[in-house]
Structure 1
């Protein structure tokens, strides 16, 4: 970048030769500042509920939370062709699509009112200070209002992904002793299967699921009632709290508890269970002070990069994930509207008689994980590939020319008006910037999307830091970095000798990233041993991530320490980093790389992007265009495996990969990798152990076969 300035500055000196001096955000030293860390976005914000109360006072009549009404499923039947015993068989297959209404909005004042009714209802049920309400549900408006209703009543929430299996749900309910749970009717079977193991549970609150309108099963309700567990709908809970239901959406009345219960900054706000890939989920204890500090950190970017009016954020990531939870509160603090969607209905491809969530809302800001952004990029590239050759050349030229201007801070509106505005329309046409978090986003994806749509900034954080550690400024987009430390934290690097990462490395210091600040957790819930493994005596959290400190004071995350695998010849490979690069191939929907300490090369399992693979299969004459051949059949063609491998070789050349970074063999696999089948976490991260276990035979085949 031209005209760079330092994005962080040293604060004090290094405690030893094996670590760097702590670094703090540049803004803390402006206007005579001495580097003191921020702890709140505003003096009025001391606990999380204050965000709702303050915004209701400041932005009362403005739009706050919008939810789409599920109207039903629409079925379509298509003919598919598949191979059975060497014979081509044509059969009918039914496809299901979602039909949704427009967003129904509540203002900030209305949100506060619904929160007060919910909190009053919980108090009527007997919720007391420090009572726990488990939220076992997907992201929705009622998720947020129930959480804040719990704070209103003086309680705390615990979060469980809606994809969490029975054993994980039972563990989290048992460990927290939760007396209340908020969930949806379609998730009741999971709760029913373990309710006998949760003697503390007394109340089930049923909300309306975003993609289902099925009533709760009568047998399930009877089972819970017989077990002494009261079931009440969220609407009835609001009535209990003083509300009068006028129609489906409208409530009037007065809350029976007109003022929130007293809570302090050091009270627990949330016990957030992480979606780990092994063992029981671990609960991160998040206090109100931590969350308020995280909101302050996020406000460093959100507050300085908002439009004067009409700001819309698309909320679809799991609220049980700290990235979405913190981001939404930063948005609400700034008086911006959140329109909810779901991962299944983001685009028009999965809906009928309506638009997908992105085009329905036309967001100005959104957050996503790399898988989402890679999918968007590949969709755009597929459209470009279908254009005439001359148009493709113009697009490619404009892409490079606009990026050249972006790097130098030069105007780019001409490129947008001539070339890119039609592409921007695919995400609604008014996106100002977007955040990528949860994993590494490749530089190629970031460059492409930042050029053709809007600045895509990378953020870095963990549940243990309330998602806040570092982020890029949308006005300072650079490729392959995690951005500047936020004003609420200080960071440093320490040596990792066994992997040859040292703070004295040239040209830049490298090592494990440590962080300290008010938004950093004090420990895991009821797990002192695990807490001691990651927290130092003086409060530094050891992230387990390998980082690099760049000359301008920003961070680059190299990989997870546990993903650094040594091969037989002694070289380390960074699996997550390499996966982000190989995913640039248009043929990759998802993938994992596998390294074995007894082998000299890595291998890959590839879940293909079906449209690109099908198109190539037709071009090669392997299938006919009118055949709806299944993915399971496509992956069996050795010709297609070679095509995908050739695309990886192109990535190797383009990215300058060498030696142990080059994948030696691959297998294409069909089916799906989802949280529901246990191959992805709820945060859409691959569960390596489970995937390798499922395909162990293929892994063994690849090593037996040797390099392709």
Structure 2
């Protein structure tokens, strides 16, 4: 039987917080405005919310105690207030509180001349709300009147009966499914809000899925409409032309770009091509205008209504799994963010990560609760144009994956502490160390002189002039890297963990909480966790430093099941509702999460030793800043590991010049650099450097014994990683077979080295 633990409820004398057994966070007996609760009371204090507590009496054989957020250890919450139980309700509340505040911003683009203006334009919450209402009305009208409807198809029946049946929709009884396919832009979010507010389930395609997976998603969802950028139209029409029966349900496309239909021009040809394949093609503005002429009552969702199906690309190459997420899950994830991470109504988030993946969808939606602004990259933007957009938009908040921050870190170091200028090295080393020292004591670490001079110059270089905090996830980020970024740019930095199944980030370190740097921090009050012992992998619940095992999750933000996939659902969710993530975690004695490995990602070497490659890869990455990617390989016929590694272009050149005495004249092209890197002499010196940094963190048999080097070996186009950068280990082993075979033929390159 569990014991009642002290919570934030006990510290509140004015009864602001609801009792522990209630699903809402606030009971708000003083009737404070929602604006006060969201933007002034929240986030909760990092001293109490920045760690987890274990609940005594909840352990079972083979499983740890249940862990919950330290502010609410006696029960999992679902929402801040009962009325905020859907994504629709959250956005509506923002419109009511902030109708004239900017909501979405975009890099202005002239479609006729196909050129960007060097400025950002914003639209208000009221304008976005009007657009999403009109878009929803227009979309449903055009589907209802579509001449290619076939009422023998279930999804087309759902179009006709939507207004009648929407109140009965839930996890297993969905509306017809609208699909999105484009880069990040306002139309994506407006269409998403329109569907959300009208009980229309959605899904998304993205380029790296490939045609087979895209066809699988469209066929399994029977999606009748795709809202896409114009450059996707011809591809989608061709896909239906090649699969007329399987994609019979697809009868409408909405181009986010304007269609300027003139006699025999390209847009007119697109319309004709679509109609030839039983598809009506419209543009976004047409749909909005139709909605203005034929408005209809919104079909407002309930918490149980399915919000979205997000398809995760498998690490084995199998068909993607459709994660079914409800309005309740969306609302819980958004409000969980607001309870832990700093926010305010003047926030400006730059939505760089793909909206097709749940990470960015979670982050950008969370901005709406506080009344913030979401800005988008330029149309056709690339990683190369990222910093130009940041300089124009000047966000206060930026979420990205570690490899982008790693490039920023490398660039900063090259012009500061590793600069060829002795003066620069001295000045910036002193400034950054002063900031680091102040931040170690907690808080932002303000320094009156350095903040106004050297630190300001660095911030301006990357468009970080107004950045307050950054957030990263998806892969491990070294504590040293986080500390350096925080100090050199004068920002807060949060590292998190989550998945499609949890509606994005549900474990997050707090950006100014120094003791938890390098961990994933605490868990959202909307979710609880426990660990399953993995003795076969050497992970136990009594391990020194905190229990280790497979992370299991349960709570308001979690998915219900995998779409039309009961077998995988049964494997992943037990009878008590615990979802097995497949990730191995340690929960430190201080109450913070570390993700350290993957379940079943282990193999036996020839001498009988078991190795978990993900642990190996993570340690090499977090202890060696020169590395950007690591793929560790081993099998039962060999007694040691070999590695395919990616190196940072700037850092490796410095290493070659300083540690290997390679003249700069021999390092003027990428081809020359890689050729030199893959000589036995350099590989030996580099591997010695890497393994020295690993020290005793790995056993000898767990360390790499040979290397193959590229700048970015694990690339999407090679299909060796998923779009979210997860390694597809079996596919990578086949792709790099020749390099792996060559390394094993050569043997252990450090074996005979005399140290």
TM > 0.5? yes
Matched, 1:62 2:62: no
2:54 is matched with which residue?
A: 10
Could you tell me which residue of structure 1 aligns to residue 311 of structure 2?
Answer: 273
Match status 1:225 vs 2:257: no
Q: Which residue of 1 aligns with 2:330?
A: 291
Out of 451, 455, 463, the position equivalent to 1:420 is: 455
Shift of 1:42: 3.5
Q: Which moved more, 1:98-107 or 1:130-139?
A: 98-107
Q: CA deviation at 1:589?
A: 4.5
2:471 to 427, 435, 451: 435
In structure 1, what is the Cα distance between the partners aligned to 2:112 and 2:718?
A: 22
Is the deviation greater in 111-120 or in 659-668? Answer: 659-668
Match of 2:509 in 1: 472
**8 Å contact kept, 2:720–2:735:** no
Say if 2:373 is the partner of 1:337. Answer: yes
* CA pair 685-280 structure 1, distance change in 2 beyond 3 A: same
Counterparts in 2 of 1:182-197, with a 5 A limit?
A: 182-195=227-240, 196=244, 197=246
- Number of residue pairs the alignment of both structures matches: 654
- Look up the SS of the partner of 2:643 in the other structure: strand
Alignment of 1:268-417 (within 5 A): 268-277=306-315, 278-302=317-341, 305-307=342-344, 309-341=345-377, 345=381, 349-350=384-385, 356-384=388-416, 385-409=418-442, 412-414=445-447, 416-417=451-452
CA shift for structure 1 position 163: 2.5
SS in 1 for 2:281: strand
> Which region of structure 1 is more displaced relative to structure 2, 290-299 or 521-530?
290-299
* Contact in 1 for aligned 2:49/2:340 (Cα 8 Å): no
Alignment check: 8 A CA contact 1:600 1:660 kept? yes
C-alpha distance in 1, partners of 2:615/2:402? 12
| Structure 2 residue 247 is matched with structure 1 residue 198 | yes
Is 2:696 the counterpart of 1:663? no
Q: After TM superposition, list the pairs within 5 Å mapping 1:227-242 onto structure 2.
A: 227-242=277-292
**1:142-167: CA deviations, max 9, x gaps?**
11111122234431101222322111
Kept in 2, the 8 Å contact 1:641–1:668? The answer is no
Q: Is contact 1:66–1:106 with CA below 8 Å preserved after alignment?
A: yes
What is the CA-CA distance between 1:622 and the residue it aligns to?
A: 6.2
Mapped to 2, the partners of 1:649 and 1:142 lie a distance apart of 51
Contact 1:166 1:193 in 2 (8 A): no
Deviations for 1:4-35, whole angstroms, at most 9, x for unmatched residues?
99822233523423221111111125xxxxx2
Aligned CA distance change for structure 1 residues 362 and 572 (closer, same or farther; 3 Å): farther
Structure 1 distance, partners of 2:630, 2:270, is 39
What secondary structure does 1:435 align onto?
strand
Q: Distance in 2 between matches of 1:410 and 1:172?
A: 46
1:27 counterpart SS class = coil
- Residue aligned with 1:319, SS: coil
Of residues 123, 128, 131, the one that matches 2:140 is 123
TM-score computed with the length of structure 1 as normaliser:
0.85
* 1:623 to partner: Cα distance: 6.9
1:473: Cα distance to partner? 1.6
- Does 1:51 pair with 2:90? yes
- Measured after TM superposition, the shift of residue 292 of structure 1 is 0.9
Q: Does structure 2 retain, via aligned residues, the 8 Å contact 1:118–1:146? A: yes
Distance 1:216 1:647, change over 3 A: farther
- Counterpart in the other structure of 2:752: none
Structure with the larger strand share: 1
| C-alpha distance 641-687 of structure 1, shift in aligned 2 (>3 A) | farther
The residue aligned with 2:8 is none
Tell whether the 8 Å contact from 2:118 to 2:392 is kept in structure 1 after alignment: no
Instruction: Choose which of 558, 565, 568 in structure 2 pairs with 1:530.
Output: 568
In structure 2, the CA distance between the partners of 1:226 and 1:4, relative to structure 1 (3 Å rule), is: closer
Q: Secondary structure at the match of 2:504?
A: coil
2:195 aligned with 1:178, yes or no? no
Question: Is 1:579–2:617 an aligned residue pair?
Answer: yes
CA distance in 1: counterparts of 2:628 and 2:380, whole angstroms: 15
- Flag the 1:132–1:332 CA change in 2: closer, same or farther, 3 A: same
CA separation of 1:293 and 1:279: change in aligned 2, threshold 3 A: same
TM-score relative to the length of structure 2: 0.80
**Structure 1 residues 164-185: Cα deviation after superposition (integer angstroms, max 9, x where no partner):** 2111111001111111111122
Q: Which moved more, 1:507-516 or 1:421-430?
A: 421-430
SS of the residue corresponding to residue 134 of structure 2 reads helix
* CA deviation after TM superposition for structure 1 residue 655, in Å: 4.1
Measured after TM superposition, the shift of residue 294 of structure 1 is 1.1
Post-superposition Cα deviations, 1:536-584, rounded to whole Å, max 9, x if no partner, equal 1010111111111211222111122243444334444443444345446
Cα RMSD between the aligned structures? Answer: 3.1
Q: Which runs of 5+ in 2 are unaligned?
A: 1-45, 145-158, 167-174, 259-264, 750-755
Where structure 1 has 5 or more consecutive residues not aligned to the other structure, the ranges are: 30-34, 75-96, 210-214, 244-254
The aligned runs of 1:453-468 (5 Å cut-off) are 453=489, 454-468=491-505
Does residue 103 of the first structure (1) align with residue 120 of the second (2)? yes
SS at the partner of 1:135?
Answer: strand
Give per-residue Cα distances to partners, 1:32-84, cap 9 Å, x unaligned: xxx2322123433222122221111111111111111346999xxxxxxxxxx
Q: Counterparts of 1:446 and 1:671 in 2: how far apart (Å)? A: 22
Match of 2:748?
707
**Residue of structure 2 equivalent to 1:207:** 256
* The one of 555, 571, 583 aligned to 1:517: 555
Q: Structure 1 315/264 Cα, relative in aligned 2: closer, same or farther at 3 Å?
A: same
- 1:16/1:615 Cα in 2 relative to 1: closer, same or farther (>3 Å)? closer
